[in-house]
């Protein structure tokens, strides 16, 4: 029987469109996964820097408390100095006051250093917060964009699938089962364009018999990949 190669060309074009839509439908969720991961990373950085700042503040508070206690102790010792009975006791106490004042001076330096670090960390937390906010906005934007894109692609997929189903009704009863099996197994590669020399899908060289069958518009399946072959419309037999 004679075959309408124009029908095969149309079916192949629709199958390719459906593959393309399928790939584009996978791209969107992939983009969403990337921005979601970014957002999670920025959220984690923010938590890490907030925690570091909190710990440093705690350590700084503890040191400041320690300093206040020591200063109170020194004041206490100064009062006792005035009440000393012996010279020896006075000297001992005076030495202890001097030593504690020295220790406090070291403590004050450490506290200053911590306060500087707190300033740096506060800036870091602020930067991390801004980065996190930016990544939240970005993932919201991408999610909205992908939602819209998916809706449009889904509508296009439905439209093409319906058109394809209509066209498939034109395939003769003796070929429809084989066609369905090929599409189920190979997707768009169920059909293959040939220039009447090689298979457009797998490059298998056609035999003289195959070429002759093609010219007579018989149903021809590639001996290499098994696809259902058709000629381009520039070939006389293909139109």
Q: Cβ(39)–Cβ(135) under 8 Å?
A: yes
Query: Between residues 15 and 222, which has the closer beta carbon with respect to Zn ion?
Result: 222
Position among 183, 204, 206, 220 found at the interface with Zn ion (CB under 5 A): 204
76, 97 contact by CB (below 8 A): no
Strands 191-194 and 220-221 turn out to be unpaired
Decide if residue 199 touches Zn ion (CB under 5 A): yes
Q: Identify the burial level of 80 via C-beta atoms within 10 angstroms of its C-beta, where 0-12 means exposed, 13-18 middle and 19 or more buried.
A: middle
Q: Which of residues 48-67 bind Zn ion (CB under 5 A)?
A: none
Q: In angstroms, what is the minimal distance from the CB of 10 to Zn ion?
A: 20
Least Å from the CB of residue 185 to Zn ion: 13
Site string for Zn ion, 21-40 (x = CB under 5 A): --------------------
Chain positions 217 to 236 lying near Zn ion, rule: CB under 5 A, are: 222, 224-225
Nearer to Zn ion, 35 or 182 (CB): 182
Q: Which is nearer to Zn ion, 17 or 201 (CB)?
A: 201
Nearest distance from C-beta of residue 199 to Zn ion, angstroms: 3
Residue 127 has which token pair? 């930067």
Tokens 């079916």 correspond to: 11
Nearer CB in complex with Zn ion: 74/193: 193
Cα–Cα distance between 222 and 226 in angstroms, integer? Answer: 5
Q: Distance of alpha carbon 159 from its chain centroid, rounded?
A: 30
In the set 38, 114, 201, 210, which binds Zn ion (CB under 5 A)? 201
Judged by DSSP in three states, 227 sits in coil
Which range of residues in 7-15, 73-81, 124-132, 200-208 is near Zn ion by CB under 5 A?
200-208
| Residue 173 CB, nearest approach to Zn ion (Å) | 25
Q: Of all helices (H) and strands (E), which one includes residue 123?
A: helix 87-168
Rounded to a whole number of angstroms, the minimum distance from the CB of residue 195 to Zn ion is: 12
Residue 146: partners with Cβ closer than 8 Å, 6 or more residues away = 28, 29, 31, 32
Q: Which residues bind Zn ion (CB under 5 A)?
A: 199, 201-202, 204, 222, 224-225
């Amino acid at each position: 029987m004679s075959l309408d190669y124009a029908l095969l060309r149309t079916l192949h074009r629709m199958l390719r469109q459906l593959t393309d839509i399928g790939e584009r439908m996978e791209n969107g969720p992939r983009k969403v996964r990337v921005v979601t991961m970014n957002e999670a990373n920025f959220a984690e950085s923010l938590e890490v820097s907030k925690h570091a700042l909190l710990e440093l503040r705690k350590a700084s508070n503890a040191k400041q408390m320690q300093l206040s206690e020591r200063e109170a102790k020194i004041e206490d010792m100064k009062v006792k100095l005035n009440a000393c009975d012996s010279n020896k006791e006075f000297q001992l106490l005076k030495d202890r006051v001097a030593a504690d004042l020295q220790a406090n001076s070291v403590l004050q330096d450490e506290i200053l250093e911590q306060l500087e670090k707190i300033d740096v960390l506060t800036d870091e937390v602020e930067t991390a917060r801004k980065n996190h906010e930016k990544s939240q906005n970005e993932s919201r934007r991408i999610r909205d964009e992908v939602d819209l894109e998916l809706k449009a692609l889904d509508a296009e997929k439905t439209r093409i699938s319906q058109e394809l189903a209509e066209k498939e009704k034109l395939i003769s009863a003796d070929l429809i089962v084989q066609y369905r099996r090929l599409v189920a197994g190979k997707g768009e590669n169920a059909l293959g364009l040939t220039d009447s020399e090689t298979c457009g899908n797998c490059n298998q060289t056609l035999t003289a018999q195959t070429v002759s069958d093609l010219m007579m518009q018989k149903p021809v399946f590639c001996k290499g990949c098994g696809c259902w072959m058709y000629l381009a419309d520039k070939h006389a037999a293909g139109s």
